[in-house]
Chain A
């Protein structure tokens, strides 16, 4: 089955840019979705179809997908962005979902 690999943690100073990667074999051929989960809350979609942003999600959030790596970028990071972030794709042949292991974003 398809495997998505994320770094367990990313740390960033307030105001700087956070980049969270999601690795997968030829992931550029898939549509990647990103979810933010704050403690005690349900996940929230922040990026879909690699780089689209749902209404209500700040423009500071962006995404890209190339080669074997998809990336979630958060500009001008603030304390409110501290959360776990998960990437997700669908396996083409089986239509089964796959999540990355998640990345904990810490704002120092």
Chain B
């Protein structure tokens, strides 16, 4: 069974760093890209970026380029999304999802990680 299991909810203060994770199982990890999607409270889905596990080829949305870093660890079949300095506006639910070769869909999604940034 394909599963993407994300790390738990986080509460941080502005300026702090954070790294959340997305652990894959049930499929060949090297065959699929892993993407990240943001959903701010009461809002729609925003595509942040995507990474390929084999060579760490990463594509970022212009809106998130330089604001976050997407990485992957093949040994533990896990993708990561990290911030070096959080802002209150980063408060949102973050989803990971897998994709085959473009223009394939995001066919399996993680359960989401809620990030709250507040002083």
Contact = CB atoms under 8 A, between A and B. Distances in A.
B46 A99 contact: yes
Interface of A: 1, 30-31, 33, 35, 37, 42-45, 48-49, 54, 84, 86, 88-90, 92, 94-102
Contact of A44 (B37, B45, B46, B109): B109
Interface residues of B, number: 23
Contact of B106 (A31, A35, A102): A35
A105 to B, nearest CB: 14
Contacts, number: 63
Contact of A43 (B60, B104, B109): B109
Contact of B105 (A1, A48, A84, A98): A48
A30 B93 CA distance: 28
23 contacts: A37-B45, A42-B112, A43-B95, A43-B97, A43-B109, A44-B109, A45-B105, A48-B105, A49-B105, A88-B47, A88-B105, A88-B106, A90-B102, A94-B59, A96-B47, A96-B59, A97-B35, A98-B47, A99-B37, A99-B44, A99-B45, A100-B44, A102-B44
